[in-house]
Amino acid sequence: MAQHPAASSDAGNLRAWLGLLVVLGPVLLVSMDGSILFLAMPRVSQALNPSADQALWILDIYGFAVGSLLVAFGNIGDRYGRLRLLMVGAAFFGIGSAAAAFASTPELLIAARAVMGIAGATLLPSALAVLSELFADPKRRAQAIGIFAAAFAAGFAIGPVVGGVLLERFWWGSVFLVNLPVIAVFLCFAPVLLREVRATRPGRVDAISVVTSAVGLLLAIYGIKHVAAEGLTLSAVTSAILGTAVLWWFGLRQRRIEHPLIDFSLFRDRTFTVAIITGLLPLAAWSAAAYLAGIYLQSVLDVSALQAALLALPGAVVLTATCIVTPMVVDRVGKRSALLVCHFSIAAGLLLLLPTTVTGGIGWYIASTALAGIGYGICFAVVAATAVAAVPPERAGSAGAIAETSNEIGNALGIALLGSLAALLFRLQGPDLAPTLDETLQLSDLTATLVTDAKAAFLAGLHIVAATASFLHLVLGLLTLRWLPRGAVASPAEHETAADETAAAR
C-alpha cells in the first residue's frame, strides 16, 4: 500500500527537526567551551598553579585552534563528507574533554584544550552544512539556521553560568565532563537522522595555508603574552615579529592560489569589512570582559562561583533574547541601524564597569552585562547575514566562512590581547610578588595592605581594558555611520536569497 504524501511529508519534517535537535548539541558545546572556564579559572589556578601566560593559554588555545582551522575543515568536509567529519570531530571533542577534566598539569590541560579546539573546528561548518541539507524548504531552512545561530550565541552566554553551577558542587574538571553525555547522544543518533553532504566542486585544500595561518597566529600571540607577563625579552619580541611575518606571507599567498582559505578580495566591499570587524571586535570585548569580571567577582569581591554564575545570568538572558528577536526587528529597521545599536550599546555597557571598586560594584556589573548584552546579541544575529548579502551569490560560502571565523578569532584575541594588557598593568602596578592576582592571594603572610594593593592593581587593569574596548566600539560605530549610508545594506528579500545561496554553497 502506497504511503500517503502528507504522511511522508510529516515524517520528513519530524526527521528534520529531530536532526536539528541532535546537531544543536555539539554546536552548543563548541560555543560554550569558549567561555565555560571564565568562572572556573580561580579553581584551576588553585589546583594546577599555572603561570600567568599558561593561564592565558589554557583559556584561549581553544579559540585559536577553532578559529585558525575553521575554514580549512570546511573545505575538507566538502571533499571527504560533512557527516563523516562531524562524527570524527565529535568523538575527538569527547576525548579531549575527558583528558582536560583529569589533566594534572597546566601543560596537559593546554594540550587537551588544543585537541578540543581542533575537533571543534570540524563541528561548526559541517553542522551547518548537514543542517541545510535537512530542510529543503527555504523558509524552514531559514528558521533552522536562526535556531542554530541562537544556540551558538546561547552557548557563549551560558558557558560561565554552567561553569559556576558545576563548580558549586563538583571539582573544576566537571566543566569538561558535562560535554560527554551530549557527545554520546550525538554519536548514537546522528548516523540515523543525518545524511552525508559533499560539495560538487570542493577544490583543493592548501595545506601550506592551513599550517602558516595557525603557526603565525600562535607565534604572534605567544610573543604578546610573554611581553605582558615578563617584559620585553629577546624571545618574546622575536616570536611576535616572526608570527607577524608568517601571517603577512599567508595573506600574500591567499592572493596567488586558486582556492584560498580566506578570500581577502572580499574586504574591498566596505559593508563586508564592517560586518567582519563586527564579528571580531564584540567577541573580543565580551570574552575579555567576562574573563576579567569573573576574577573580579570571585577574587576581589570574594563572591562564590555559584553567586558569580547567577550574577552573569541577566546578561546571558539579554544576549540570547536579543539574538532571537533581532532577525524579526532588523527587517523593519535595517541592518545599518542594528549595527549602530550593536556598537554603541557595547561601548556604553563596558563603560559601566568603570565605577566598580575593590569593595563593591555588583550592581554596575549586572547593568554592564545587560546593556552590552544587547549589542552582543545583535552581533551574533546579523553579522553572517550582512557579510553574505554584501557579496555576489557565488561567493556567499566564502563570506559565511570568514564571518564564522571572525567570531572564533575574536573570542580568542580578546583574552590574548586585552587579557595580556590587564596582565601587563597588574605586573606594573601590583605589589610585584607574583604575576597574577590569584597567585598573589595564595601567598602566605600577606598583609591587608598588600591584599588591597593587589586587588586595586587588578581592578585598574580591568578598567583600562573596559575603556579601551569601549573606545574601539565607539570608533567602529562612527565608521559604520560613515561607511554605510542608508540603503547601503541589501534588502531583507536579498538577504533571504543570499542565505539560500549560502546553504547551497555549503
Percent of the chain with pLDDT over 70: 82
Q: pLDDT tens for residues 79-112?
A: 667 778 888 888 999 999 999 999 999 999 999 9
What pLDDT, on the 0 to 100 scale, is given for residue 138? 65
Whether 247 and 278 share a structural domain? no
- Which residue carries 539556521 as its cell? 145
User: Tell me, what CATH number does 83's domain have?
Assistant: 1.20.1250.20
Assess whether 252 and 395 both reside in one domain.
no
Clarify whether residues 417 and 278 are in a common domain: yes
> How high is the pLDDT of residue 498?
42
For 232: left if phi > 0, alpha if psi spans -120 to 50, otherwise beta; the answer is beta
Task: Using DSSP, state whether 119 is helix, strand or coil.
Answer: helix
Phi, psi dihedral angles at 261 (to 5 degrees) = -70, -40
Q: Which phi and psi (to 5°) does residue 450 adopt? A: -65, -40
pLDDT at position 226 over 60:
yes
Q: Does residue 497 carry a pLDDT above 50?
A: no
The conformation of residue 436, written as its DSSP 8-state character, comes to S
Task: Scan for cell 569573573, then name that residue.
Answer: 294
Q: Is residue 4 part of a domain?
A: no
pLDDT at 147 (0 to 100): 75
Q: What is the mean predicted confidence (pLDDT) over 248-275?
A: 83
Least confident of 14-28, 239-253, 440-454: 14-28
Within-domain flag for 7: no
Nearest residue to 404 via CA among 195, 175, 148: 148
Predicted pLDDT at 460: 93
Residue 8 inside a domain? The answer is no
Asked which of 224, 240, 258 is the last residue of a domain, the reply is 258
- Please indicate whether residue 184 or residue 396 has the higher confidence score (pLDDT): 184
- State mean pLDDT over 341-347: 94
Residue 27 sits in the same domain as residue 124? yes
Share of the chain above pLDDT 90, in %: 20
Q: How far does Cα 411 stand from its chain's mean position?
A: 4
Q: Which domain holds residue 237?
A: 206-258
Mean pLDDT, residues 284-292: 87
Angle at 399 between CA 394 and CA 404, to 5 degrees: 145
